[in-house]
Amino acid sequence: MNIRYRPLRDSDYDLVAALFNEGSIADGRPMSQVGEEIREEFESLPVDLDTNTFSAWHGDQLVGATYAYHLRSEERQECCYVFGSVHPSFRGQGIGRQLLGDVLNTAEKLLRESTSNVPKVIRANVSNVNTAEMHLLEREGLKPVRYFPDLHRSLASPPRQIEPIDFRVTPWDQARNEEIRVAKNLAFQDHWGSTPFSPERWQTQTMGFGSRLDLSFMALSPDDKVIGYLLSHRYDNDDALIGAKYAWIDNIGTLAEWRGRGVATHLITTALNSYRDAGLDYAALGVDSDNPTGAFRLYESLGFKSWRQTVTYEREVIATS
């Protein structure tokens, strides 16, 4: 079979979205992305099309694509993530092996060129039903290091809201985005794999595709400081694929000194009731199964149940002298 390889181009975003959509269905995590969503992601990370992307073509059909994005950091650990997919009809023909090898070489180069002195790793997230990709990653020296289940719950009967005592929960204030970003980075300092959000990346996260600030909330201390937050996303295009209207708790955090005082519980309870009032059917979120704050137990106590799972693979990059 004649397969042609080249970097992605600015005109390919719609085709990339369609490819990733086909792959997501085969991998048990169906989604319906659009080209503009992919473009926004690439520009916010950022992903350089000429150097950090690879694609495979059979005639005029895009049959595989992969990319690397480098999250620079001077704290704890620096990561380069690789992501991609091969069209289900073209799997098992060596295309994924070629694309993965190319993108891993690029990821390693990006990390070796970094002047940061912190440990450096390459990571890839894969659906736990995609055994073929797992085998490819393992052949390239990556090992499974973490498991991230998606949980969901029906909104037919959300938990009753109770007024908190020593803090208050309010709607998200866009004017306080920077304050919330700082709180987010502080709240995730002790979370595995977390890289601080830059202002640019946080802007896309909170204002970009799928963001629903009208369904997002802040927790404030008596002196009006942000001590917690809950950011919601909504992807209308996915409804038909997954058979219900879902709201996603995209990101939730509480400052360490405020944990154990019900901040996350009140944020989630408020969000679940707002989702129900908006006419949605389910709430969902992803969680680190080894989360140090005990978040998994909290979500289960609020009615969330396991739905599907991704596995994070990792390979350390040793600096050359």
| Torsional sign, CA 314, 127, 42, 280 | negative
pLDDT at 86 over 70: yes
Instruction: Extract the tokens encoding 10.
Output: 């600015």
Coil, helix or strand at residue 285: strand
Collapsing DSSP to helix, strand or coil, 127 comes out as strand
Residue 286 to residues 18, 200, 234, 291, Cα–Cα distance (Å): 24, 23, 14, 11
Q: How confident is the model at residue 291 (pLDDT cuts 50, 70, 90)?
A: low
Cβ contacts of 130 within 8 Å, gap of 6 or more: 26, 27, 28
Among 3.30.300.30, 3.20.20.150, 3.40.630.30, 3.40.50.620, name the CATH number for the domain at 4-141: 3.40.630.30
Query: Coil, helix or strand for 287?
Result: coil
- Residue 229 contacts residue 188 (beta carbons within 8 Å): no
What CATH code is assigned to 151-309?
A: 3.40.630.30
pLDDT tens by residue, 254-276:
999 999 999 999 999 999 999 99
Q: Which residues pair with 84 in a beta bridge?
A: 66
179-198 confidence digits (pLDDT tens): 999 999 999 988 887 888 98
Task: Determine the pLDDT at residue 300.
Answer: 93
Please state, in angstroms and rounded to a whole number, the distance separating the CA atoms of residues 282 and 303: 11
Please tell me the distance from the alpha carbon of residue 275 to that of residue 285, in angstroms, as a whole number.
13
If you ran DSSP here, which 8-state letter would residue 205 be given? H
pLDDT at 123: 97
Model confidence, pTM: 0.92
Domain borders along the chain are: 4-141, 151-309
- Indicate if the pLDDT at residue 72 is higher than 90: no
Domains 4-141 and 151-309 share a fold: yes
